[in-house]
């Protein structure tokens, strides 16, 4: 059963990849990988390579890079061209493979298990790394991150938020967001003059603009079985109110009044027809589809929803009546879920100097800024100087996205700080437990107490799996 569950989680991981600090244990020891006594001290480590980067002659060498495709064909082509340009300039054979998100982890897992044809560099993220714990197949690239940060400082949330147990297993490259989309015209019709800034104001506004008799609902926040978009939003909601599944030490704390109140409140909104009746069956596309169809007034989605309206004339009026804002704050905080991505160097890489130089080449400022401009606002830069760029300050939507990325410090299991605890939380995430909890209570399939107890029990099982 556990093997089946593990396979399910690894398959689910690819559907979420677009998105901590501190530790209570020795991070180098915890990150041990078979065949590697201590990757943080490996003589071929990326930290050592960073000190000597640029000194090596790479002519005649070969390197393999796997890039996970993103939404833009132009951006994918630009990244591939940049990598091949490195090869031409350095006399290096660069094998570039662009792989779809749904196939990436399956293919990577197969090569790692077989011990053959493992790439040297991969598109990476915190979630990808944590799903391999305790056998993390990526090198410690903290030295390389420090070098890049010294030349072009990272946004603090990107630098600190991509550490896992005090170590960088991937080089931060860009980050996504989940914004709040609000129908300005519907608020005006209801006599509401300001945008909601807190969760209480979101719910109050949603009630005021709901018109279920005409198939219009104030809040498009669902809880379908595989709705990872709203799984993230629901977690963020109870974080902001001060409720957590786990504490910093990894203790299970889901049985608390804040989470129970949040679940109960959502169920009441659902039964009051402030939330669409089909929201309990949505997948990740449910909220944005409802918004584009003119059925919902407030939703939380990546800026792909903005692009969908911007790039299609049929949504021109809807776009004009839409405000794109950072998500609301709660009674306790305004922590946002973070979605950084970057590049890992695999521990089977035979030339870490070369791999490090490749990553630095695609992070070179002039080219990087041009590349990020192609994918804005879906992805945002992770460097502080974005604050001085007209692209990210003069465009209203881009500015809101940058504000989000600067404030995004949340992650699966937040605020658990240990690498083992974060691994438990990441593995648990891919069963979409929070959405199920809200769903069961809203549909009457379980009481709040029973739904909370189910999450607590499942977290215990995942702790056993990780060996905590």
**What is the four-CA torsion angle of 41, 43, 47, 49, rounded to 10 degrees?**
180
Residue 86 pLDDT level (bands cut at 50, 70, 90)? very high
| Mean pLDDT, residues 304-324 | 97
DSSP annotation of 410 reads E
Percentage of the chain modeled with pLDDT above 90: 85
Residue 445 burial (CB count, 10 A) = 11
Q: How far is CA 145 from each of CA 79, 103, 150, 350, 443, rounded to the nearest angstrom?
A: 20, 28, 8, 20, 47
Distance between CA atoms of residues 219 and 233, nearest Å: 12
Q: Residue 98 pLDDT more than 90?
A: yes
340 in helix, strand or coil? strand
Q: Using alpha carbons, list the distances in angstroms from residue 35 to 38, 115, 343, 409.
A: 9, 12, 22, 33
- pLDDT of 191-250, one tens digit each? 999 999 999 999 999 999 999 999 999 999 999 988 999 999 999 999 999 999 999 999
Which pLDDT belongs to residue 56?
61
Find how far residue 125's CA is from the centre of its chain: 8
Mean per-residue pLDDT for 326-345?
96
- pLDDT band for 94, please (50, 70, 90 cuts): very high
pLDDT in tens, 33-84: 333 334 443 444 444 444 444 446 899 999 999 999 999 999 999 999 999 9
State the Cα–Cα distance between residues 127 and 18, nearest whole angstrom. 11
Q: What is the pLDDT of residue 466?
A: 85
Q: Tell me, rounded to whole angstroms, the distance of Cα 122 from its chain centroid.
A: 16
214 φ, ψ (degrees, to nearest 5): -110, 25
User: How much is the pLDDT for 24?
Assistant: 34
- Using alpha carbons, select from 452, 451, 439, 412 the residue that is nearest to residue 266: 439
Mean pLDDT estimate for the chain: 90
Mean pLDDT of 280-303: 96
Q: Is 50 exceeded by the pLDDT of residue 23? A: no
Instruction: State the pLDDT confidence band at 396, using cuts at 50, 70 and 90.
Output: very high
pLDDT at res. 404: 95
Helix (H, G, I), strand (E, B) or coil at 129: helix
Beta carbons within 10 angstroms of residue 225's beta carbon: 13
* 409 close to 162: Cβ distance less than 8 angstroms: no
Instruction: Please state which of the ranges 42-51, 114-123, 449-458 shows the lowest mean pLDDT.
Output: 42-51
Q: Quote the pLDDT of residue 66.
A: 98
**pLDDT at residue 29, as a whole number:** 33
DSSP class of 182:
E
Q: How confident is the model at residue 3 (pLDDT cuts 50, 70, 90)?
A: very low
- pLDDT surpasses 70 at 384: yes
424-434 mean pLDDT: 94
* pLDDT value at residue 251: 95
Q: Is the confidence at residue 27, as pLDDT, over 90?
A: no
Which pLDDT value is given to residue 225? Answer: 87
Does the structure show a pLDDT above 80 at 18? no
In angstroms, the CA 17 to CA 176 distance is: 10
């Amino acid at each position: 059963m556990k093997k089946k569950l593990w396979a399910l989680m690894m398959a689910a991981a690819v559907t979420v990849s677009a998105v901590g600090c501190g530790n209570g244990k020795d991070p180098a020891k915890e990150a041990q990988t078979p065949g590697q006594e201590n990757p943080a001290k490996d003589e071929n480590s990326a930290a050592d390579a960073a000190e000597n980067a640029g000194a090596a002659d790479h002519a005649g060498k070969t390197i393999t890079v796997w890039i996970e495709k993103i939404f833009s064909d132009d951006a994918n082509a630009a990244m591939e061209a940049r990598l091949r340009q490195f090869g031409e300039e350095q006399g290096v054979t660069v094998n570039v493979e662009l792989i779809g998100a749904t196939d990436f982890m399956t293919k990577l897992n197969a090569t790692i298990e077989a011990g053959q044809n493992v790439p040297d560099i991969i598109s990476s993220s915190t979630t990808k790394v944590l799903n391999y714990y305790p056998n993390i197949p990526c090198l410690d690239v903290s030295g390389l991150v420090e070098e890049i940060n010294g030349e072009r400082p990272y946004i603090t949330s990107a630098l600190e938020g991509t550490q896992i147990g005090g170590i960088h297993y991937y080089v931060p490259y860009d980050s996504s967001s989940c914004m709040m989309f609000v129908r300005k015209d519907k608020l005006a019709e209801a006599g509401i003059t300001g945008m909601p800034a807190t969760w209480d104001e979101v719910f109050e506004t949603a009630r005021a603009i709901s018109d279920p008799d005409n198939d219009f609902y104030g809040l498009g926040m669902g809880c379908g079985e595989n709705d990872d978009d709203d799984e993230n939003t629901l977690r963020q909601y109870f974080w902001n109110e001060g409720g957590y599944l786990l504490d910093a030490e990894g203790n299970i704390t889901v049985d608390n009044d804040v989470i129970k109140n949040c679940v109960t409140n959502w169920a009441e909104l659902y039964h009051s027809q402030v939330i669409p009746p089909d929201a309990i069956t949505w997948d990740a596309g449910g909220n944005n589809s409802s918004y584009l169809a003119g059925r919902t007034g407030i939703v939380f989605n990546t800026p792909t929803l903005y692009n969908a309206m911007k790039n299609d004339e049929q949504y021109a009026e809807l776009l004009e009546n839409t405000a794109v804002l950072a998500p609301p704050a709660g009674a306790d905080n305004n922590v946002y879920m973070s979605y950084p991505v970057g590049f890992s160097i695999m521990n089977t890489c035979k030339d870490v100097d070369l791999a490090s130089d490749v990553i630095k080449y695609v992070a070179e400022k002039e080219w990087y800024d041009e590349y990020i401009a192609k994918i804005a606002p879906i992805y945002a830069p992770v460097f502080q100087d974005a604050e001085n760029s007209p692209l990210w300050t003069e465009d209203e939507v881009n500015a809101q996205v940058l504000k989000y990325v600067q404030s995004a410090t949340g992650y699966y299991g937040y605020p658990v700080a240990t690498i083992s605890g974060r691994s438990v939380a990441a593995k648990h995430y891919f069963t979409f437990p929070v959405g199920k909890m809200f769903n069961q209570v809203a549909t009457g399939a379980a009481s709040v107490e029973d739904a909370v107890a189910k999450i607590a029990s499942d977290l215990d099982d995942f702790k056993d799996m990780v060996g905590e």
